[in-house]
Amino acid sequence: MRRLVLLLAVVLAAALAGGGLTQLGEDSSGQGPDATRARVVRVVDGDTIVARIGGRDERVRYIGVDTPESVAPDRPVECFGRAAARENERLVEGRTVTLTTDVEERDRFGRLLAYVRVGDGRFVNAELVRRGFATTLTIPPNVRHAGRFRALQREARRAGRGLWGACRR
């Protein structure tokens, strides 16, 4: 019992210390009261952007997806990496997006972790997986859309879309 109380206290303290973006209250469109609007300043690669939030530029890493590397200084460009980066640019470059976090707000590199939607309601994380530009990357406790992403990946793989048709996986 004591462990449970301690765990709940830690979880509550972490939630209260989070500040910035909040992960609760998102509706299915991602436009809920706790979603944050941001302007995309630059696309880093297929799954990372720089967005202006409240006058400050933030590196934002998409939750639940992983695209092939295209800019890592110590790694070669991977198959479909440049295509994934171009697709991300097509979807979000210069646009206003809505960001929503999950349980954890930041990764170990200090990047903001977010689900990203564009003005027309398209869910960018899901769109990248659906079209074969990304694979799923489930890192608990940020798992809100993991099942949806897995289903989209199965569909893309079966259809040979994107990297599933162009790269050996």
10 CB neighbour count, 10 Å cutoff? 10
C-alpha distances in Å from residue 37, one per residue of 11, 69, 93, 110, 128: 26, 27, 14, 19, 20
* Catalytic member of 61, 117, 130, 161: 61
* Catalytic member of 26, 58, 69, 105: 69
**Backbone dihedral angles phi then psi of residue 101, each to the nearest 5 degrees:** -90, 175
Strand partners, 38: 97
* Catalytic member of 111, 117, 130, 161: 111
Is 144 assigned a catalytic role? no
User: Quick one: CA dihedral 45, 104, 32, 130, positive or negative?
Assistant: positive
Is 95 assigned a catalytic role? no
Is 111 assigned a catalytic role? yes
* Active site members: 61, 69, 111
